[in-house]
Amino acid sequence: MARIVFTPQLRRFVEAPEVETPALQLRAGLEDAFASNPRLRAYVLDDQGHLRPNVVIFVDGKRLREYQRLDEALAPDTVVHVLQALSGG
Amino acid sequence: MSQTAWVATRKGLFELSRASGQWEVANVSFLAEPVSQVLPPDASGHMLAALNLGHFGVKVHASKDFGKTWSEVATPAYPAQPEGAEGPAWKLVQIWSMERDGDGTIWAGTNPGGLFSSTDGGVSWQLNENLWHRKERLGWFGGGYDSPGIHSICPHPEKANEMLLGISCGGAWRTTDGGAAWHLRATGMRADFMPPEQAGEENTQDPHLIARCPGEPDVLWTQHHCGIWRSADNGVSWQECKGDFTTFGFAVAAHPKDGKTAWFAPAIKDEKRVPVDAALCVTRTRDGGKTFEVLRAGLPQKNAYDLIYRHGLAVDATGEHLLMGSTTGNLWASGDAGDSWQSVAPNLPPIYAVKF
């Protein structure tokens, strides 16, 4: 299953444990993480379900450039990192 | 007389306490986090803090014990934006104002221009759809931020269901039925930043802050982008108050009882936005805006580049005690209605709001 790893900086505000997901798309994988941890959603996504502008996601080391659809494919060995963008400090 | 006050800053919420005649920092909450606004406690100790986390968005925290402990509650959220909807994105950028009305309802003014209310202490929030869907909203624009924002919420202390809002840049709006219907109330203001033929249009005025006199609630003051205006008829009409000193600034504090007294924190208009001659002062009128006194005692008169944001000046219920906080992180207090000032803390983070 794909793994989603959240920045430890989130732990100041909300629990954000690593999640394993059978999802085949990034958004579905994130929804799996939010299902067990609803407060986490608003830290990662905005009112319209878009990735927050100062959060950055890497999928297998490749930085995501698309912030609305979040339809990047996930494979069973995919590792997703949800991190702070340095722009937002 | 207030013994407690609150200072919302770029790096946390500071609680002040007053003992032996001196204000001191008593506690810090949310250290290192931007606190855009604070709602002081009611009699039960319930209060709210609005955070604007650089990476993770706006969050609201509530306290039930006068700010000793906090827990996160719901954050106002915009509904799904219809495809093709004009105007700014339906995304919460900032909570710019929070007020409690006489019924205990909490109102939050936001960028990009939505007004939210909560009847359960912040556990849940409802967007005021009637204001949000006014066609005039698409004529609003940013003033200080990229998107328009509601910075002033002035409930009427004697009329339930009535309040007046100030919006940069969207004029002043009044409801008399708890937010079902809204009407512009900015007649008389003047927007020099608009094409001349549009200078008097109510919907694009930039009142930097609007403050109501609690004791004479038909009296309203605004520190506007283009000067100072006062209304003595509950916002039906506004009259400009021209002083000898600059009337540019952001903040205004209305006397709690006397409708002819108010304080302002002037700066050089418009591009510089620093104190005149790098010497900080407060101006005060006691005659309804006909004349202004310039008050400097205790304030830095050399190399002072402090700017006072719109929520950075406050007066308590006695009308004698004021607090003023600057973008440079200076905090001053006055115990004699502004005649003289004392430094409370000179090295705080940039100050967004002071509240008694």
Which tens digits make up the pLDDT trace of B119-132? Answer: 999 999 999 999 99
Check pLDDT > 70 for residue B285.
yes
Task: Identify which of A42, A50, A89 has the shortest CB distance to residue B54.
Answer: A89
- Amino acid B244: pLDDT: 86
Search chain B and give the residue with CA nearest A53: B55
Residue in chain A closest to B91 (alpha carbons) equals A47
Q: CB-based contacts of B233: which residues, under 8 Å, 6+ apart?
A: B218
Nearest neighbour of A48 by CB, restricted to B53, B75, B80? B80
| Residue in A closest to B34 by C-alpha | A89
Chain B residues within 8 A of A41 when measuring between CB atoms: none
Give per-residue pLDDT as tens, B49-92. Answer: 999 999 999 999 999 999 999 999 999 999 999 999 999 999 99
Tell me the pLDDT band of B199, cut-offs 50, 70 and 90: very high
Q: What is the pLDDT of residue B164?
A: 98
Query: pLDDT tens for residues A47-78?
Result: 999 999 999 999 999 999 999 999 999 999 99
Residue A89 reports pLDDT greater than 70? no
User: What is the structure's pLDDT at A74?
Assistant: 98
End-to-end alpha-carbon separation of chain A, Å?
32
Interchain pair A48, B90: CB under 8 A: yes
Q: With 70 as the cut, is the pLDDT of residue B18 above it?
A: yes
| Mean per-residue pLDDT of chain B | 97
Which pTM value belongs to this model?
A: 0.97
The residue-averaged pLDDT of B292-302 equals: 98
Could you count the other beta carbons within 10 Å of the beta carbon of residue B86?
7
Chain B residue numbers touching A54 (CB-CB < 8 A): 54-56
pLDDT of residue B1: 66
* Number of independent structural domains in chain A: 1
Task: List, as ranges, residues 55-74 from A with C-beta within 8 Å of B.
Answer: 55
Average pLDDT over residues B14-36: 96
HSE-CB for B59 with a 13 A CA cutoff: 25
Residues of chain A with Cβ-Cβ distance to B73 below 8 Å are: none
pLDDT tens-digit readout, B229-269: 999 999 999 999 998 899 999 999 999 999 999 999 999 98
d(CA A4, nearest CA chain B) in Å: 17
Q: Which residues pair with B284 in a beta bridge?
A: B263, B293
Kindly list the residues from chain B whose CB atom is less than 8 angstroms away from the CB atom of residue A8.
none
Residue A1 has pLDDT above 60, yes or no: yes
Local confidence band at A26 (pLDDT 50, 70, 90 cut-offs): very high
ipTM: 0.94
For B55, the closest of A39, A50, A84 (CB atoms) is A84
Chain A interface, best mutation among B55, B93, B116, by max A CB count within 10 A: B55
Average pLDDT over every residue of A4-29 = 96
Residues B341 and B121: their CA atoms lie apart, in Å, by: 35
Give the minimum alpha-carbon distance from B152 to chain A in angstroms, rounded to a whole number: 23
Inter-chain touch B92–A9, beta carbons under 8 Å = no
Range of the domain at A49: 2-88
Question: Sign of the C-alpha dihedral, residues B56, B59, B65, B67?
Answer: positive
CATH number at residue A44: 3.10.20.30
Q: Do B92 and A46 touch (CB under 8 A)?
A: yes
Q: Does A52 touch chain B (CB under 8 A)?
A: yes
CB pair distance less than 8 Å for A39 and B53: no
- The pLDDT value recorded for residue B113 is 98
Q: Looking at residues A26-33, what average pLDDT do you find?
A: 98
Which of B33, B53, B56 should we substitute to test contact with A (largest number of A Cβ atoms within 10 Å)? Answer: B56
Q: Is the dihedral of CA A40, B37, B344, B300 positive or negative?
A: positive
- A39, B56: Cβ pair inside 8 Å? no
Q: Which pLDDT value is given to residue A88?
A: 59
- Distance between terminal CA atoms of chain B? 10
What pLDDT does residue B139 have? 97
For B76-85, the CB contacts below 8 A with 24+ separation are B76/B108, B76/B110, B76/B114, B76/B116, B76/B125, B76/B127, B77/A42, B77/A47, B77/B125, B78/A47, B78/A48, B78/B114, B78/B127, B79/A47, B79/B127, B80/A48, B81/A48
The arithmetic mean of pLDDT across residues B134-140, rounded, is 98
Is the CB of A3 inside 8 Å of chain B's CB atoms? no
Phi, psi of B214 (to 5 degrees): -60, -35
CB contact under 8 A, B57 and A39: no
Quick one: pLDDT at residue B271? Answer: 79
